[in-house]
Amino acid sequence: MGASPQSFFKLNCDTSVQLEKKQGDLGFIIRDSQGRCITAISEPCNAWDVLLNETLVVRQGMLEAISEEIDNLIIESDNQEVILALQTTSTPFPVLIRPIVEDIMYLQGCFESCTFLFIPRAKNAIVDALARRVLSLAKRTSWPISNPCLFEDGSVSRSFE
């Protein structure tokens, strides 16, 4: 007997990279099955490779979901290469992300159910904005759940873009 749809949570992840500053920025949001924000995080990253950062943000989001005691997780990213590597472990993937993918596969065992899905960039706008928001931040930031920029429909307030 599987988990009911009401017990699933969604983790949306994204990253932005500033090659000139040699800095990456991570952003993720966890929502319940009703679309309500549970947590939203932005944080800087010392890596500036897009593929590496896309795997790092998935791992960071999964660790946060574990700390929130979430059992059933749907992970969505707009990076098709990362999602394919996570969905099909028999597919070769770059050596650069191998240790992070192995971590993610291990963490997947901490959930009753954990699924990886590719979504179009347009559907991932809020976490793209969270990742870009790090540009003006120096450290990890946990955004207040009451933040009016975190709309349930996934849109982003103009003041947050």
Report if residue 101 sits inside a domain.
Answer: yes
- 35 pLDDT above the threshold of 70: yes
Report if residue 153 sits inside a domain.
Answer: no
- Check residues 30 and 93 and name the one with the higher pLDDT: 30
C-alpha span between 149 and 132 (Å, rounded): 14
Burial letters 117-144, b for 16+ CB under 10 A, else e:
ebeeeeebbbbbbbbbbbeeeeeebebe
C-alpha span between 57 and 79 (Å, rounded): 11
Report if residue 91 sits inside a domain.
Answer: yes
Task: Determine whether 145 is exposed, middle or buried from the number of CB atoms within 10 Å of its CB (0-12, 13-18, 19+).
Answer: exposed
Report if residue 155 sits inside a domain.
Answer: no
- 2 pLDDT above the threshold of 60: no
Report if residue 72 sits inside a domain.
Answer: yes
- 23 pLDDT above the threshold of 60: yes
Q: What is the pLDDT of residue 65?
A: 97
Report pTM: 0.81
Report if residue 97 sits inside a domain.
Answer: yes
> Tokens in use for 115?
């699924």
- Check residues 93 and 82 and name the one with the higher pLDDT: 82
Structural domain of 72: 7-143
Report if residue 161 sits inside a domain.
Answer: no
Instruction: With cut-offs at 50, 70 and 90, classify the pLDDT of residue 42.
Output: confident
Q: What is the CATH number of the domain that holds 118?
A: 3.30.420.10
Q: What is the pLDDT of residue 144?
A: 60
pLDDT tens-place string over residues 50-90: 999 999 999 999 999 999 999 999 999 999 999 998 998 67
- Check residues 93 and 10 and name the one with the higher pLDDT: 10
Please count the structural domains in the chain: 1
- CA distances 146 to 13, 37, 143, Å, are 20, 9, 8
- Check residues 138 and 109 and name the one with the higher pLDDT: 109
pLDDT tens-place string over residues 114-158: 999 999 888 877 777 777 766 666 666 676 665 544 444 444 433
Strands across the sheet with 37-45, in order?
Answer: 113-118, 72-77, 8-18, 23-31, 37-45, 141-143
C-alpha span between 9 and 37 (Å, rounded): 10
C-alpha span between 161 and 156 (Å, rounded): 7
Report if residue 1 sits inside a domain.
Answer: no
Question: With contact defined as beta carbons under 8 Å apart, do 27 and 46 qualify?
Answer: no
